[in-house]
Structure 1
Amino acid sequence: MESVEELIRDLSSKLGNIAGEFSSRADRIIAAGRATPGGFSADPQAPIDLVARAREVLAVRKARRRYFPPDLFHEPAWEMLVALFIIYETDHSMNVKALVSCSDAPATTSQRWIDHLHKSGLIDRVTDTVDRRRIDISLSDRGHEAMVRYLKDISGIT
C-alpha cells in the first residue's frame, strides 16, 4: 500500500506532466501563428486573456517540480495570489480551505501567508454570514490591479 507522501508525489508528477503537455501545445499553437506569447490571438488589437496567462504561470511553476525538488521554489503566497486572480475573474472568492489547498504548503504556513497578504492589502477576508466558521478570501482591488499589471507586463503589454 502506498503512503500518502508517495501518492502526493505521484499526483504532483502527473500534474506536472499535464502542465508540460499544455505548455508544449501552446508552443505549437504559437509557432503555427494562431497565437502570440502574450495571449491567444494573432490580432495585436485583441484583448489578452489574462486568466489563461495566469493559468499558464501556475502550470509552468508546477512543471518545474518534474526536474527540481519542490522545496527549492516553494512560494505559497504567490500560488495563492495567482489562484485568487483566476477565481476573481470567475467566482470572485474562495474559502480558506480551498485556498490552502492551492498553496501546496502546510495549513499553518498557508494561514500565516493569508494573514500577511491581508495585512499587505492584497486580499480581502469576509466571514460567511450563514456559517461564521467559514471565511471567504478574494483579491482586494489593490491585489487585482497588481496581478493585472504583472500579467500584462510578462505578456509584453503596456
Structure 2
Amino acid sequence: MDYASLVLAEPSLAEPQTLAPILVAGSSAKARDRGAALVEAAGVRLAGVVPIADAVERIDLQVRASAIWVELDDDGGDPLDRLLDRIDRDAANGLYAAIVCAAPGLLDPVAARLSRGAVELLIAENDRGDEPARVAALALMLAAPARGTRLSDVATDTSAARLRQLTDEVGRIAATLARLSSGPSTPAPSALPTPRPTAPDPAPDIAPETIRAVIRARRLRARFFANELFADPAWDMLLDLTQAEIAQVRVPVSSLCIAAAVPATTALRWIKTLTDSGLLLRRADPHDGRRVFVEMAPNTSQAMRNYFGEVGRVAGA
C-alpha cells in the first residue's frame, strides 16, 4: 500500500498554496529524491532540496520555510553534525519543525546530536524507509500549530478558519497512520509517573543471574506467541538497564532500542518519554561526541532493586 497516497487523497492537503513550504536535505541524491517525493505527494510546496553540506547555509537564507525534512542513508560527518546541532537548537526554540529519517546504522551518531527532544527522529526499518511512520510524522507536523517567525504568510485572519479545518483533517489522518505504523500492540507513550519515593535503606543486591533469567523468560514467549501480543518496551528497557548497571556496562541508545524489542522509532519515543519523566538519564560519551549512553535515574534504580527484592521474597514464601 502507498501510504503517501492516503495523504494526497485528501483534497485539502493537495493544495500546495495553502501550506507553508518545507526544506528537504539529504545525504545522497537518492535520499533527497525520497524526501522530496514524500513532501510533494502530500501536496506541500518544496522550499528547496539541498545536500547535507549546504543545508545550514540554506537555512540561514530560507526565511519562508516552516519545516525541514532530513533524509539520511549514510554518515555526513562534520557537516551532518553541524546541521543536526542547528536544527536541534532551532526546533527547541520553536523556529521551525524538523524531522530526521535515518538508516539504522546512524542511530547513535544522530541521537547524540538531538538532545533537546524537539526533533522527530525516525529510523528506516526497511528499503521503503518505513513509509507509514514517515507519512504519519509528516501529517502530524502539518497539523501542528504554527510556530516562530520562519513561516509563510498563510496564517492571516482571512485564512484562520481554513487553517483550523486543515488541522482537524490532518490530525485525523495522522492518527490513522500512526496506528498503521505502530500496530495494535504499541500504545503511544504518555506522561509516566516517576517511581514512588523509596525508603532510605539501601536497596537489596540483585544477582546477575536473576535478571538474566527474567529476560530469558520474556524472550522465551516468542516461541509460543507473537511478539506483538506482549510488547512492553518500557519494562524491557528497564530490565536491560538494570542488568547493565549490575554488570557495570554502559548502554548506548542503539543497544537500548534493540532491548526494547520494538521498531527503533517506537523505542526512541519510549526513551524520550521515560527521560522526560525522570526515569532515565542521558549521558554523553566523554570519549566520543557522536554517542550518548542511557542509564536509570537513582530513584528508578532503587525502585528496580526493591522490586526484585520483593519478588524474591514472594517466590521464596
Q: TM-score, normalised by structure 2?
A: 0.33
Amino acid at match of 2:251: M
* Matching residue within 114, 125, 130 for 2:282: 125
Larger strand fraction of residues: 2
| Greater CA drift, 141-150 or 121-130 | 121-130
* Residues 122 and 54 (structure 1), Cα distance of their counterparts in 2 relative to 1, 3 Å cut: same
**Secondary structure, in 3 states, of the residue corresponding to 1:68?**
coil
Distance 2:302 2:206 in 1: 15
Alignment pair present for 1:108 and 2:265: yes
Q: RMSD in angstroms over aligned alpha carbons?
A: 1.8
Alignment pair present for 1:64 and 2:218: no
- Number of matched residues? 111
Instruction: Specify which structure has the bigger relative contact order, considering alpha-carbon pairs within 8 angstroms and separated by 6 or more residues.
Output: 1
8 Å CA contact retained: 1:50, 1:151:
no
Larger helix fraction of residues: 1
Moved runs in structure 1, 4+ residues, more than 3 A?
47-50
**Secondary structure, in 3 states, of the residue corresponding to 2:283?**
strand
Alignment pair present for 1:143 and 2:314: no
- 1:77-103 deviations in whole A, cap 9, x for unaligned? 111110100101122421101111111
For structure 2, the residue ranges without an aligned partner over 5 or more in a row are 1-203
**Secondary structure, in 3 states, of the residue corresponding to 2:281?**
strand
Deviation at 1:48, TM superposition (A): 6.4
State percent identity of aligned pairs: 32
1:2-151 equivalences in 2 (<5 Å)? 49-151=206-308
- 1:55-80 deviations in whole A, cap 9, x for unaligned? 11111111111111110001111111
Amino acid at match of 1:111: L
- Larger-gyration structure (1/2): 2
Deviation at 1:49, TM superposition (A): 4.2
8 Å CA contact retained: 2:205, 2:305:
no
Amino acid at match of 1:59: R
Deviation at 1:50, TM superposition (A): 3.2
For structure 1, the residue ranges without an aligned partner over 5 or more in a row are 1-46
Q: TM-score, normalised by structure 1?
A: 0.64
Distance 2:217 2:205 in 1: 18
Distance 1:51 1:150 in 2: 15
